[in-house]
Chains A and B, each alone.
Chain A
């Protein structure tokens, strides 16, 4: 089958889900209060686009969530890549830091939300810090693993050409570990997006997570569905962006 046929198959799945959804609601199998029809959602979407939600335009909710994600993610990368490079290159630094990361890794970041609120209140900082932490784990672990795969000869080539230690990190280790670093970035992006929504569920005045939680509180069920669909679609878009970023930055792998 040509590639285009597979794409068509994927779209058929989407269409099938919508049609089944419509059939279930139109046939009166479930209460329209619990599951509004797709048409009802389209109507509500127009309403949201025109009126906004909670006296804020829809775009503001989307941007609030995205801004938190990218701030936390950006800080996570800025700290995580250098820390991961040093951890991967130095067994001593690895030994010092790895217990912290090993302990924190299996804990779902969401479990820290109450503590974040206790430490930093319910403002922006607690949410961004949570995302920063989660992104940091993934980036540090992948970066240090990436450094450990760099061949001995490549590092020696850099030393032989007269590079300083700092130059070796910047011009050899970073690039050689980049494929692994970007794997970390992809995971961190997906996880950050999931966490921002969770953090907003608990304490926020804007954002898609806030929208979903608030709409549920006031029984605005179509808005709950719309919020969830937005979160999913934007998550897909983020994935597509990180994947094309990866392709562009790793073109020299020749795949």
Chain B
């Protein structure tokens, strides 16, 4: 399968924020290839540069060294072909659920009859049927992330970038969102690059897990996940799951300062 996202020797250095502070290397020599229609997770200790990695692919920032290619082109600016799901709500609080979902195609000048139909379908798919006219303040944390997911998927993105999207949710809500994401993937098959600090989530959701070193981050280990999708939450109880989780956790623990 061809690689949809390719990172070659990517490095990112941030200038010191205050006077007298040395520049900080967030990423160093990151090599990564992500195949089309795969869910790939990056885990690593906090501050290891996982979010920076995502921001580079999104085009919010430029790499200091190395090259990034998404479908053969460097991501020079943000765009809906690489739709982003933020950890924070990042919804437009002044718009209803439906207007949030159609925000991208509407302002890019797409024909309303086309995006309205997709919006209706997606709002149902993320389980928000009947909530179209509600405002974000009226929704729970899990529902807000469902809106973000629909707002990203309506762009029919080649790549879905997710920055700890379920990190702020309680355990049950998080489990339901994980199931939802797998279900959605089964229908739309986007290539997903997901960043998380939760090892269980990484195994449950992805085809491959990449472990990063502590800052400056580089990929230290890439582990394919052997379980077939669709997966159920029962997987968490299996010995194979436990063994994989333990080996990934050990790999992470080595990076704790």
Which A residues lie at the B interface, using CB under 8 A?
Answer: 151, 153-154, 156-157, 159-163, 167, 171-172, 175-176, 178, 252-254
Contacts and interface: CB of A to CB of B under 8 A. Distances in A.
25 contacts: A151-B88, A153-B86, A153-B88, A154-B90, A154-B92, A156-B60, A157-B86, A157-B90, A157-B91, A159-B77, A160-B60, A161-B80, A161-B103, A162-B107, A162-B108, A163-B107, A172-B92, A175-B92, A175-B94, A176-B94, A252-B94, A253-B93, A253-B137, A254-B135, A254-B137
A191 B93 CA distance: 30
Contacts of B86: 153, 156-157
Given A153-B88, A156-B60, A253-B137, A161 B107 contact: yes
Contacts, number: 67
B92 A156 contact: no
A252 B83 CA distance: 25
Interface in B214-232: none
Q: For this complex, into which size category does the number of interface residues on chain B fall? A: 20 to 34
Interface of B: 58, 60, 77-80, 82-84, 86, 88, 90-95, 103-104, 107-108, 135-138, 151, 155
Majority secondary structure of chain A interface residues (helix, strand, loop or mixed): helix
Contact of B138 (A159, A172, A254): A254
B80 A162 contact: yes
Contacts of B151: 161
Majority secondary structure of chain B interface residues (helix, strand, loop or mixed): loop
Q: Identify the 7 closest CB pairs spanning chains A and B, nearest first.
A: A161-B104, A254-B137, A159-B78, A153-B90, A160-B84, A162-B80, A252-B94
A85 to B, nearest CB: 15
A156 B92 CA distance: 12
A1 B91 CA distance: 39
A164 B226 CA distance: 43
Nearest to A254: B137
A161 B79 CA distance: 6
A24 to B, nearest CB: 52
A253 B93 CA distance: 7
Given A157-B86, A252-B137, 20 more contacts: A151-B88, A151-B90, A154-B92, A156-B60, A157-B90, A159-B60, A159-B78, A160-B60, A160-B79, A161-B104, A161-B151, A162-B80, A175-B92, A175-B94, A176-B92, A252-B93, A252-B94, A252-B95, A252-B136, A253-B137
Given A252-B135, A252-B137, A156 B84 contact: yes
Contacts of B92: 154, 157, 172, 175-176
Nearest to A175: B94
Contacts of B135: 252, 254
Nearest to A170: B107
A160 B82 contact: yes
B118 to A, nearest CB: 14
B107 A160 contact: no
A156 B94 CA distance: 17
Nearest to B135: A252
Contacts of B95: 252
Given A167-B107, A171-B107, A254-B135, A156 B78 contact: yes
Contacts of B108: 161-163
A160 B137 contact: no
A48 to B, nearest CB: 45
Contacts of A153: 86, 88, 90
Nearest to A249: B94
B230 to A, nearest CB: 28
Given A156-B84, A252-B137, A162 B104 contact: yes
A171 B99 CA distance: 12
Nearest to A153: B90
A162 B108 CA distance: 7
B137 A161 contact: no
Given A252-B137, A253-B93, A254-B137, A160 B88 contact: no
